[in-house]
Amino acid sequence: MGAMDFEVVSDELYAAKREDFTALRDERAKQARPDRVLVDRIAGLRKPTVAAWLVNQVSRNNPEEIDQLAELGEALRLAHQRLAGEDLRALSRRRHELIEKLNKRAQWLARKAGYAFSDLTGRQITDTFEAAVADEQALEALRAARLSASLAPGSPEQWLTAAILPAKPLPRKESAPQRREAPRREAETAGSRRTATHEQEAREQQRRKAARARAEQEAKSAAKAQEEAEHALSEAELRAEDASATVAGLRARLNDAIAAEREARAEVTEARKTVTAARRSAKAAEKRATEAE
């Protein structure tokens, strides 16, 4: 394979089929010998979960839509700073629509690759895209498309461990004016981080509030459905009891009718015997009368 580059190998592994990851990683680690550091780095790459693999492929195949996520994240942060309610609502709708679109692309890829797409997988994929909107570090991890696990909004430590980010060039030596600007930039960065933290906490609180409201609504709907089902059951039981009483009455009448029929048939039989005996007696009397003459 010639001189091996960790960045190239990482891209190759996370772009490959998930079921080929382990064998390909082990092969590349062997080929990296005798560079022990490179061998260890390659061998340490983790096989992606199904959700992470799908997100990686969506990110690789749809860079324009990932750029849209980045633009939405920036716009949402500005809207939060301005407390622009209408803008926030419109941007939130756009975020929901775009993430839903990306989730459907992941579903299509799962079907194409023959992977089961569970509710948990769908939630993990949605959370990963949500994280990319909320934080630039998560966005960078998403763009690198080397995730080994899904991301969750508000977990920067996880983003660093779940993604293999491309190596960055060494920083250039700063000039004196740049050094003087450094404290101001650091203060601005710290302020931005605090603002982002507050925004994340507010979003998380809104999500919990919305989830609680949905759960309460679902509980009310379930209670109403239970009440309706119990009412329907009571009515069905009453109808069943009425039908049973009707059947019992009909059976009694049927039994009476059967008994009456048997009695009538017995009477018919006896009447036939009587008629037969009477005919014989009449013939005998007629014969005696004839002989007497």
Q: Is residue 24 over pLDDT 90?
A: yes
Q: Is residue 98 over pLDDT 50?
A: yes
Terminal alpha carbon distance of the chain: 145
Using an 8 Å Cβ cutoff, are 51 and 125 in contact? yes
Task: Output the pLDDT for position 194.
Answer: 61
> What are the tens digits of pLDDT across the range 56-96?
999 999 999 999 999 998 888 888 887 777 888 888 899 99
How far apart, in whole angstroms, are the C-alpha atoms of residue 123 and residue 127?
6
Task: Output the pLDDT for position 159.
Answer: 43
Task: Output the pLDDT for position 231.
Answer: 45
Q: Assign 3-state DSSP to the chain and report helix, strand, coil percentages, each to 5.
A: 85, 0, 15
Q: What is the mean pLDDT of residues 264-280?
A: 83
Task: Output the pLDDT for position 257.
Answer: 66
> What are the tens digits of pLDDT across the range 204-258?
666 666 545 554 555 455 445 555 545 454 455 545 555 555 545 546 566 666 7
Contacts of 101 (CB under 8 A, 6+ apart): 65
Contacts of 41 (CB under 8 A, 6+ apart): 6
> What are the tens digits of pLDDT across the range 113-125?
999 999 999 999 9
Q: Name the amino acid, one letter, at 96.
A: H
Higher pLDDT, 199 or 142: 142
Per the prediction, the chain carries an average pLDDT of 77
**3-state class (DSSP) for residue 147:** strand
Contacts of 80 (CB under 8 A, 6+ apart): 88, 195, 199, 202
Task: Output the pLDDT for position 210.
Answer: 57
Q: Is residue 281 over pLDDT 50?
A: yes
Q: How many residues does the chain have?
A: 293
Using an 8 Å Cβ cutoff, are 64 and 101 in contact? no
How far apart, in whole angstroms, are the C-alpha atoms of residue 147 and residue 53?
7
Q: 144 to each of 59, 111, 293, how far by Cα in Å?
A: 8, 24, 138
- Give the gyration radius of the chain's Cα atoms: 43
Lookup: tokens for 200 = 């994340």
Using an 8 Å Cβ cutoff, are 31 and 13 in contact? no
Q: Is residue 162 over pLDDT 50?
A: yes
How far apart, in whole angstroms, are the C-alpha atoms of residue 141 and residue 158?
10
Exposure string of 57-87, with b = 16+ CB inside 10 Å and e = fewer, is bbbeeeeebbebbbebbebbbebbeeeeeee
**3-state class (DSSP) for residue 163:** strand
How far apart, in whole angstroms, are the C-alpha atoms of residue 184 and residue 87?
30
Q: Is residue 144 over pLDDT 90?
A: yes
Q: What φ, ψ does residue 163 adopt, rounded to 5°?
A: -130, 145
Task: Output the pLDDT for position 204.
Answer: 64
Task: Output the pLDDT for position 171.
Answer: 46
Of the listed ranges 44-48, 140-144, 284-288, the least confidently predicted one is 284-288
The DSSP annotation for 101-139 comes to: HHHHHHHHHHHHHT----HHHHHHHHHHHHHHHH-HHHH
Task: Output the pLDDT for position 263.
Answer: 76
| Ramachandran area for residue 160 (φ above 0: left; ψ -120 to 50: alpha; else beta) | alpha
Degrees to nearest 5, angle at CA 225 with 224 and 227: 65
